[in-house]
Structure 1
Amino acid sequence: MARRAVLVSMAADSTIADVAQTLDNPVEYVRRILEKLERCRRAHGDAQVRIGVRGRVECPNYLIEYALLDPKTKQTSVHPDAAYSGSTHRELAPRHIEEARNWSPEEMNITAVSALIGRLRNPRD
Protein backbone atom coordinates (compact mmCIF):
# COMPACT_ATOMS: atom_id res chain seq x y z
CA MET A 1 0.00 0.00 0.00
CA ALA A 2 1.29 3.48 -0.84
CA ARG A 3 2.32 5.64 2.06
CA ARG A 4 0.23 8.76 2.43
CA ALA A 5 1.79 11.99 3.54
CA VAL A 6 0.35 13.36 6.73
CA LEU A 7 -0.03 17.09 6.49
CA VAL A 8 1.70 18.62 9.47
CA SER A 9 2.57 22.26 9.56
CA MET A 10 5.51 23.73 11.37
CA ALA A 11 5.96 27.06 13.06
CA ALA A 12 7.80 29.70 11.05
CA ASP A 13 10.52 29.81 13.73
CA SER A 14 11.10 26.05 13.99
CA THR A 15 14.48 24.42 14.55
CA ILE A 16 15.53 20.83 13.93
CA ALA A 17 14.89 20.09 17.61
CA ASP A 18 11.31 21.36 17.24
CA VAL A 19 10.51 19.01 14.34
CA ALA A 20 12.66 16.00 15.32
CA GLN A 21 9.64 13.85 16.22
CA THR A 22 8.05 14.42 12.79
CA LEU A 23 11.14 13.49 10.76
CA ASP A 24 11.08 10.29 8.69
CA ASN A 25 14.42 9.11 10.08
CA PRO A 26 15.54 11.61 12.73
CA VAL A 27 18.95 10.12 13.56
CA GLU A 28 20.03 9.82 9.92
CA TYR A 29 18.64 13.26 9.01
CA VAL A 30 20.49 14.97 11.88
CA ARG A 31 23.66 12.93 11.23
CA ARG A 32 23.76 14.13 7.62
CA ILE A 33 23.26 17.74 8.74
CA LEU A 34 26.04 17.33 11.28
CA GLU A 35 28.37 16.21 8.45
CA LYS A 36 27.60 19.40 6.53
CA LEU A 37 28.08 21.51 9.66
CA GLU A 38 31.48 19.92 10.34
CA ARG A 39 32.58 20.63 6.76
CA CYS A 40 31.50 24.27 7.08
CA ARG A 41 33.19 24.62 10.47
CA ARG A 42 36.47 23.29 9.07
CA ALA A 43 36.29 25.75 6.16
CA HIS A 44 35.07 28.84 8.04
CA GLY A 45 35.62 28.23 11.75
CA ASP A 46 31.92 28.36 12.55
CA ALA A 47 28.67 26.68 11.47
CA GLN A 48 24.97 26.84 12.15
CA VAL A 49 21.83 25.49 10.47
CA ARG A 50 18.35 26.81 9.78
CA ILE A 51 15.56 24.65 8.39
CA GLY A 52 13.13 25.37 5.61
CA VAL A 53 9.68 26.06 7.00
CA ARG A 54 7.70 26.05 3.77
CA GLY A 55 8.37 22.47 2.69
CA ARG A 56 7.94 18.93 3.94
CA VAL A 57 8.05 18.65 7.72
CA GLU A 58 9.19 15.01 7.54
CA CYS A 59 12.44 16.03 5.80
CA PRO A 60 12.78 19.83 5.59
CA ASN A 61 15.47 21.44 3.48
CA TYR A 62 18.18 23.19 5.45
CA LEU A 63 20.60 26.08 5.13
CA ILE A 64 24.14 25.88 6.51
CA GLU A 65 25.65 29.25 7.49
CA TYR A 66 28.69 30.65 9.24
CA ALA A 67 29.33 33.86 11.16
CA LEU A 68 32.30 36.16 10.69
CA LEU A 69 33.46 38.87 13.05
CA ASP A 70 34.67 42.04 11.36
CA PRO A 71 37.83 42.99 13.32
CA LYS A 72 37.39 46.70 12.59
CA THR A 73 33.74 47.15 13.48
CA LYS A 74 33.44 44.20 15.91
CA GLN A 75 30.17 43.35 14.14
CA THR A 76 29.27 39.76 13.39
CA SER A 77 27.72 38.96 10.03
CA VAL A 78 26.17 35.67 8.96
CA HIS A 79 26.94 34.23 5.54
CA PRO A 80 25.30 31.31 3.73
CA ASP A 81 27.50 28.31 2.99
CA ALA A 82 24.98 26.14 1.09
CA ALA A 83 21.37 24.97 1.11
CA TYR A 84 20.56 21.27 0.98
CA SER A 85 17.61 19.07 0.17
CA GLY A 86 16.25 17.46 3.30
CA SER A 87 15.34 14.26 1.46
CA THR A 88 18.55 13.69 -0.54
CA HIS A 89 21.04 15.90 1.37
CA ARG A 90 22.32 17.16 -1.98
CA GLU A 91 23.23 20.80 -2.42
CA LEU A 92 20.48 23.00 -3.85
CA ALA A 93 20.96 25.75 -6.40
CA PRO A 94 22.09 29.09 -4.92
CA ARG A 95 18.72 30.68 -5.79
CA HIS A 96 17.13 28.68 -2.95
CA ILE A 97 19.22 30.55 -0.39
CA GLU A 98 17.96 33.96 -1.45
CA GLU A 99 14.29 33.47 -0.54
CA ALA A 100 14.47 34.42 3.15
CA ARG A 101 10.85 33.50 3.91
CA ASN A 102 11.69 29.85 3.18
CA TRP A 103 14.06 29.69 6.16
CA SER A 104 13.35 29.77 9.86
CA PRO A 105 14.88 32.80 11.58
CA GLU A 106 15.99 30.47 14.40
CA GLU A 107 19.26 28.60 13.99
CA MET A 108 21.03 25.79 15.79
CA ASN A 109 24.80 25.85 16.14
CA ILE A 110 26.97 22.78 15.73
CA THR A 111 27.09 22.16 19.49
CA ALA A 112 23.29 22.13 19.75
CA VAL A 113 22.97 19.76 16.79
CA SER A 114 25.58 17.42 18.32
CA ALA A 115 23.60 17.39 21.56
CA LEU A 116 20.38 16.71 19.65
CA ILE A 117 21.78 13.67 17.86
CA GLY A 118 22.98 12.35 21.20
CA ARG A 119 19.45 12.67 22.62
CA LEU A 120 17.96 11.00 19.53
CA ARG A 121 20.39 8.08 19.71
CA ASN A 122 19.96 7.59 23.47
CA PRO A 123 16.48 8.71 24.51
CA ARG A 124 15.79 8.66 28.23
CA ASP A 125 12.33 7.17 28.48
Structure 2
Amino acid sequence: MATKRVPQKPVATDSTIADVVETLDKPVEYVRRVLEKLERCKRAHGDAQVRLGVRGRAECPNYLIEYVREDPKTHERAVYQDAAYSGSTHRELAPKHIEDARNWSPEEMNITAVSALIGRLRNPRAPSSRFADED
Protein backbone atom coordinates (compact mmCIF):
# COMPACT_ATOMS: atom_id res chain seq x y z
CA MET A 1 0.00 0.00 0.00
CA ALA A 2 1.44 3.35 -1.01
CA THR A 3 1.49 6.18 1.48
CA LYS A 4 0.40 9.60 0.42
CA ARG A 5 3.12 12.24 0.77
CA VAL A 6 2.01 15.57 2.09
CA PRO A 7 3.97 18.38 0.45
CA GLN A 8 6.28 20.28 2.77
CA LYS A 9 5.26 23.77 3.73
CA PRO A 10 8.28 26.00 3.11
CA VAL A 11 9.78 28.18 5.81
CA ALA A 12 10.26 31.82 4.79
CA THR A 13 13.95 32.65 4.56
CA ASP A 14 13.72 35.41 7.20
CA SER A 15 11.58 33.53 9.74
CA THR A 16 11.95 33.37 13.49
CA ILE A 17 10.31 30.84 15.79
CA ALA A 18 7.60 33.41 16.56
CA ASP A 19 6.81 33.61 12.83
CA VAL A 20 6.28 29.84 12.43
CA VAL A 21 4.85 28.94 15.84
CA GLU A 22 1.38 28.34 14.32
CA THR A 23 2.78 25.70 11.94
CA LEU A 24 4.74 23.72 14.57
CA ASP A 25 3.53 20.19 15.36
CA LYS A 26 3.86 20.67 19.13
CA PRO A 27 4.58 24.37 19.69
CA VAL A 28 4.94 24.36 23.49
CA GLU A 29 7.23 21.32 23.50
CA TYR A 30 9.31 22.63 20.57
CA VAL A 31 9.82 26.07 22.14
CA ARG A 32 10.52 24.51 25.56
CA ARG A 33 13.28 22.33 24.08
CA VAL A 34 14.78 25.29 22.20
CA LEU A 35 14.73 27.30 25.43
CA GLU A 36 16.62 24.49 27.22
CA LYS A 37 19.39 24.74 24.61
CA LEU A 38 19.44 28.54 24.88
CA GLU A 39 19.75 28.36 28.67
CA ARG A 40 22.64 25.90 28.38
CA CYS A 41 24.42 28.24 25.95
CA LYS A 42 23.80 31.25 28.19
CA ARG A 43 25.28 29.44 31.20
CA ALA A 44 28.38 28.55 29.16
CA HIS A 45 28.88 31.80 27.24
CA GLY A 46 26.83 34.52 28.96
CA ASP A 47 24.55 35.05 25.97
CA ALA A 48 22.28 33.06 23.67
CA GLN A 49 20.15 33.53 20.57
CA VAL A 50 18.53 31.20 18.06
CA ARG A 51 18.22 31.21 14.27
CA LEU A 52 15.70 29.03 12.50
CA GLY A 53 16.55 26.52 9.81
CA VAL A 54 14.82 27.54 6.59
CA ARG A 55 15.46 24.49 4.41
CA GLY A 56 13.58 21.85 6.40
CA ARG A 57 10.04 21.12 7.51
CA ALA A 58 8.00 24.00 8.91
CA GLU A 59 6.38 21.60 11.42
CA CYS A 60 9.71 21.07 13.21
CA PRO A 61 12.50 23.21 11.72
CA ASN A 62 16.11 22.76 12.72
CA TYR A 63 17.68 25.59 14.70
CA LEU A 64 21.07 27.13 15.37
CA ILE A 65 22.10 28.36 18.82
CA GLU A 66 24.59 31.24 18.85
CA TYR A 67 26.10 33.72 21.27
CA VAL A 68 27.47 37.24 20.90
CA ARG A 69 30.71 38.49 22.39
CA GLU A 70 31.96 42.06 22.48
CA ASP A 71 35.66 42.82 22.21
CA PRO A 72 36.51 44.89 25.31
CA LYS A 73 39.05 47.03 23.43
CA THR A 74 37.29 47.69 20.11
CA HIS A 75 33.70 47.18 21.32
CA GLU A 76 33.02 45.23 18.14
CA ARG A 77 30.43 42.49 18.50
CA ALA A 78 31.03 39.08 17.00
CA VAL A 79 28.57 36.19 16.69
CA TYR A 80 29.77 32.65 17.43
CA GLN A 81 27.89 29.45 16.68
CA ASP A 82 27.35 27.14 19.65
CA ALA A 83 25.52 24.20 18.02
CA ALA A 84 22.80 23.27 15.54
CA TYR A 85 19.94 20.97 16.50
CA SER A 86 17.38 18.82 14.77
CA GLY A 87 13.91 20.29 15.14
CA SER A 88 12.29 16.87 15.38
CA THR A 89 14.65 15.15 17.86
CA HIS A 90 16.43 18.18 19.41
CA ARG A 91 19.70 16.29 19.08
CA GLU A 92 22.85 18.10 18.03
CA LEU A 93 23.58 18.08 14.30
CA ALA A 94 27.00 17.60 12.75
CA PRO A 95 29.09 20.81 12.45
CA LYS A 96 28.82 20.70 8.64
CA HIS A 97 25.19 21.85 8.96
CA ILE A 98 26.26 25.09 10.62
CA GLU A 99 28.67 26.09 7.86
CA ASP A 100 26.16 26.63 5.06
CA ALA A 101 24.62 30.05 5.76
CA ARG A 102 21.73 29.27 3.38
CA ASN A 103 20.43 26.82 6.00
CA TRP A 104 19.68 29.58 8.51
CA SER A 105 17.43 32.60 8.71
CA PRO A 106 19.28 35.92 9.03
CA GLU A 107 16.81 36.87 11.79
CA GLU A 108 17.40 35.71 15.35
CA MET A 109 15.49 35.61 18.63
CA ASN A 110 17.30 36.14 21.91
CA ILE A 111 16.64 34.07 25.00
CA THR A 112 14.34 36.74 26.48
CA ALA A 113 12.10 36.73 23.39
CA VAL A 114 11.88 32.93 23.40
CA SER A 115 11.01 32.94 27.12
CA ALA A 116 8.23 35.43 26.44
CA LEU A 117 6.97 33.31 23.53
CA ILE A 118 6.66 30.16 25.65
CA GLY A 119 4.85 32.20 28.30
CA ARG A 120 2.29 33.31 25.71
CA LEU A 121 1.91 29.75 24.43
CA ARG A 122 1.34 28.35 27.91
CA ASN A 123 -1.09 31.09 28.92
CA PRO A 124 -2.65 32.66 25.82
CA ARG A 125 -5.26 34.62 27.80
CA ALA A 126 -2.68 36.48 29.90
CA PRO A 127 -2.01 40.10 28.94
CA SER A 128 1.02 40.37 26.68
CA SER A 129 2.44 43.17 28.82
CA ARG A 130 1.72 44.78 32.14
CA PHE A 131 0.43 47.83 30.27
CA ALA A 132 -2.00 45.89 28.03
CA ASP A 133 -5.15 47.00 29.85
CA GLU A 134 -4.10 50.62 30.48
CA ASP A 135 -5.50 52.26 27.32
TM bin (shorter chain): over 0.9
1:49–1:3 distance in 2 versus 1, CA, 3 Å: farther
Shift of 1:11: 1.2
Q: Aligned with 1:78: secondary structure?
A: strand
Q: Aligned with 2:6: secondary structure?
A: coil
Asked if the contact 2:49–2:66 (Cα under 8 Å) also holds between the matched residues in 1, the reply is: yes
TM-score scaled by length of structure 1: 0.94
Unaligned runs of 5+ in 1: none
Amino acid at match of 2:93: L
Q: Take 2:67 and 2:4, find their aligned partners in 1: how far apart are those partners?
A: 37
Q: Do structure 1's residue 112 and structure 2's residue 113 form an aligned pair?
A: yes
| 2:31 alignment counterpart | 30
Q: Take 2:14 and 2:64, find their aligned partners in 1: how far apart are those partners?
A: 14
Amino acid at match of 1:7: Q
Q: Deviations over 1:15-72 (max 9, x none)?
A: 0000000000000000000000000000000000001001000000000000000011
Q: Take 1:3 and 1:107, find their aligned partners in 2: how far apart are those partners?
A: 35
Mark the structure with the bigger radius of gyration: 2
| 2:54 alignment counterpart | 53
Q: Take 1:19 and 1:13, find their aligned partners in 2: how far apart are those partners?
A: 11
How many percent of aligned residue pairs carry the same amino acid?
A: 77
Q: Take 1:99 and 1:38, find their aligned partners in 2: how far apart are those partners?
A: 25
Unaligned runs of 5+ in 2: 127-135
Q: Do structure 1's residue 124 and structure 2's residue 125 form an aligned pair?
A: yes
TM-score scaled by length of structure 2: 0.88
Q: Take 2:7 and 2:107, find their aligned partners in 1: how far apart are those partners?
A: 24
What stretches of structure 1 move > 2 A for 4+ residues in a row? 2-7
Q: Report the count of equivalent residues.
A: 124
Write out aligned runs for 1:73-84 (5 A).
73-84=74-85
